[in-house]
Chain A
Amino acid sequence: MNIEGKKQIWNAYQKEIAENDYFYARSCIRQNFFPASEVAFLRILREELHKNIIDDPNHTTCTGIGYHSDIVPFDTIQTVVARQFSLMTQAGLEHMAISCVTSFGIYTEILDLWHHFPEQLEKIREYLYKATKREFNLPKNIAHTSDVIYKFRNEIAEKAKYKLVNKQTGEPLNVVEHIGCHYAKMFPTKGVGGAEFPQVLVGMIESWGGNVVDYPERRHCCGFGFRNYLVQANRGYSISNTKKKLESMKPYKPDFIVANCPGCAMFMDKWQYTLAEMEGVTYDENGYGIPVLTYEEMAGLVLGYNPWDLGLQMHQVQCESLLDKMGIEYDPKAKYLDKNGNQMPLPEKPSCLKV
Chain B
Amino acid sequence: MIDVLIIGGGIAGIETACSLQDLGYETIIVEKEKTIGGHLNDWDTLFPTHRSASEVLAHYTDETRKRALTIYLNTYVISVKKQDDGTFEVHTSRDVVFRSKAVVVASGYKLFNAERKEEYGYKIYDNVLTSADLEVKLKDLKGEFKTPTDKVPERIAFIHCVGSRDEKSGNHYCSKLCCVTAVKQAIHLKQLCPKAEIFCCYMDLRMYGPGFEEMYREAQEKYHIQFIRGRLSEVGENSNGTLQLKVEDTLAARPCKIQVDMLVLMVGMESAKSTELFAQSCGLKCAPNRFIQPLDHHIGSNLTNVEGLFTAGTSIGPMSVFDTVNHAKATAFAIRDYFINTAR
A, B assembled together: yes
Chain A residues within 8 Å of B, Cβ to Cβ: 1-2, 4-6, 8-9, 194-197, 214-219, 251-252
Residues of B within 8 A of A252 (CB): 239
Question: Quick one: given A1-B126, A251-B239, are A219 and B234 in contact (CB under 8 Å)?
Answer: yes
Q: Which residues of A contact B238 (CB under 8 A)?
A: 216
Q: How far is the CA of A159 from the CA of B263 in the complex (A)?
A: 44
Among candidates A2, A215, A216, A217, residue contacting B124 with C-beta atoms closer than 8 Å = A2
* 22 A–B contacts, CB within 8 A, in A order: A1-B124, A1-B125, A2-B123, A2-B126, A4-B123, A5-B121, A5-B122, A8-B115, A9-B115, A9-B118, A9-B124, A194-B118, A195-B118, A196-B118, A196-B234, A214-B236, A216-B237, A216-B238, A217-B244, A218-B236, A219-B119, A251-B239
Are B236 and A217 neighbours in the complex by a CB distance under 8 Å? Answer: yes
> Which residues in window 231-257 of B have CB below 8 A to A?
234, 236-239, 244
Q: Once bound together, how far apart are the Cα atoms of A2 and B123, in whole Å?
A: 7
Q: Separation in Å of the B129 CB from the closest CB of chain A?
A: 13
**CB pair A216 B236 closer than 8 Å:** yes
CB neighbours (8 Å) of B122 from chain A are 5
Interface centre among B125, B236, B244 (most CB of A within 10 A): B236
User: CB within 8 A of A5: which of B124, B236, B239?
Assistant: B124
Contact residues of B between 117 and 168, Cβ < 8 Å to A: 118-119, 121-126
Complex Cα gap A9–B123 (Å): 10
* 8 residue pairs, one from A and one from B, having the closest CB atoms: A216-B236, A5-B124, A5-B123, A196-B118, A216-B244, A196-B119, A2-B124, A216-B238
Contacts A9-B118, A194-B118, A197-B118 given; does A219 touch B236 at CB 8 Å: yes
Most buried by B among A2, A214, A216, A219: A216
Q: How far is the CA of A219 from the CA of B244 in the complex (A)?
A: 12
Bound-complex Cα distance A1 to B236 (A): 10
The docked-state distance in angstroms from the alpha carbon of A9 to that of B119 is 11
Q: Which residue from A1, A195, A251 sits with its C-beta under 8 Å from B237?
A: A1
From B236, which residue of chain A is reached at the shortest CB distance?
Answer: A216
Complex Cα distance, B118 from A6, in Å, reads: 9
In angstroms, Cα B305 to Cα A134, docked, is: 57
- Nearest to B235 among chain A residues (CB) is A216
Structural contact, A215 and B115, CB atoms closer than 8 A: no
A-B contact sample (17 more), CB < 8 A, given A2-B125, A196-B234, A197-B124: A1-B124, A1-B125, A2-B123, A2-B124, A2-B126, A6-B124, A8-B123, A9-B118, A196-B119, A214-B236, A215-B236, A215-B239, A216-B237, A216-B244, A218-B236, A251-B239, A252-B239
Which chain B residue lies CB-closest to A244? B257
Q: Which of A1, A5, A194 has the most CB of B within 10 A?
A: A5
* Chain A residues with CB below 8 A from B239, complex form: 215, 251-252
**Which A residues lie within 8 Å of B236 (CB)?**
214-219
Q: Which chain B residues numbered 82 to 131 have a C-beta less than 8 Å away from chain A?
A: 115, 118-119, 121-126
Kindly supply a per-residue 1/0 record for chain B positions 207-240, scoring 1 wherever the CB is within 8 Å of any chain A CB and 0 otherwise.
Answer: 0000000000000000000000000001011110
Distance, CA A195 to CA B121, complexed state (A): 12
Which of B118, B238, B239: most chain A CB closer than 10 A? B118
Report the separation of the CA atoms of residues A8 and B126 in the bound assembly, to the nearest whole angstrom: 15
CA distance A195 to B116 in the complex (A): 12
A185 to chain B, nearest CB (A): 10
Taking the closest CB of chain B, its distance from the CB of A68, in whole angstroms, is: 21
Interchain nearest-CB distance for A343 vs B (Å): 45
In-complex Cβ contact of B115 among A5, A214, A219 (8 A)? A5
By beta carbon, the residue of chain B nearest A219 is: B234
Chain A residue with minimal CB distance to B238?
Answer: A216
B118 to A214, Cβ gap below 8 A? Answer: no
- In the bound assembly, the distance between CA atoms of A9 and B118 in angstroms comes to 8
- How many Å lie between the Cα of A197 and that of B124 in the bound state? 10
Alpha-carbon separation in the docked complex, A195 to B119 (Å)? 9
Query: What separation, in Å, do the CA atoms of A110 and B156 have in the docked complex?
Result: 43
* CA distance in complex: A350, B8 (Å): 73
Binary flags per residue of B175-208, CB closer than 8 Å to A gives 1, else 0: 0000000000000000000000000000000000
Q: Within the assembled complex, what's the spacing in Å between the Cα atoms of A199 and B194?
A: 41
By a CB distance below 8 angstroms, the chain B residues around A214 are 236-237
Residues of B within 8 Å of A215, CB to CB, are: 236, 239
CB distance from B54 to the nearest CB of A (A): 31
The docked-state distance in angstroms from the alpha carbon of A215 to that of B239 is: 7
Within 8 A of A (CB), among B248-307: none
In the assembled complex, which residues on chain B have CB atoms less than 8 Å from the CB atom of A196? 118-119, 234
Taken together as a complex, chains A and B put the C-alpha atoms of A8 and B124 apart, in Å, by 10
Closest to A218 in B: B236
A192 CB to closest chain B CB, in angstroms? Answer: 14
Q: Which residues of B contact A216 (CB under 8 A)?
A: 236-238, 244
Output the least CB separation between A177 and chain B (Å).
Answer: 14
**Which A residues touch B118, using CB under 8 A?**
9, 194-197
| Chain B contacts for A197, CB-based, 8 A | 118, 124
What sequence of 0s and 1s flags, for each residue 53-96 of chain B, a beta carbon within 8 Å of any chain A beta carbon?
Answer: 00000000000000000000000000000000000000000000
The residues of B that contact A194 with a CB separation of less than 8 Å are 118
B148: min CB distance to chain A, Å: 10
Assembled-state Cα–Cα distance A1/B239 (Å) = 10
In this complex, what residue of B is CB-closest to A213?
Answer: B239
Q: Tell me, in angstroms, the Cα distance from A196 to B126 when the chains sit together.
A: 17
Question: How far is A8 from B123 in the complex, measured between Cα atoms in Å?
Answer: 9
Instruction: Name the residue of chain A whose CB is nearest to the CB of B245.
Output: A216
- Docked Cα-Cα span, A1 to B123, in Å, equals 9
Residues of B within 8 A of A217 (CB): 236, 244
For B123, B124, B234, B237, which residue has the most chain A Cβ atoms within 10 angstroms?
B124
Residue of A nearest to B117 (CB): A196
Contacts of B121 in A (CB 8 A): 5
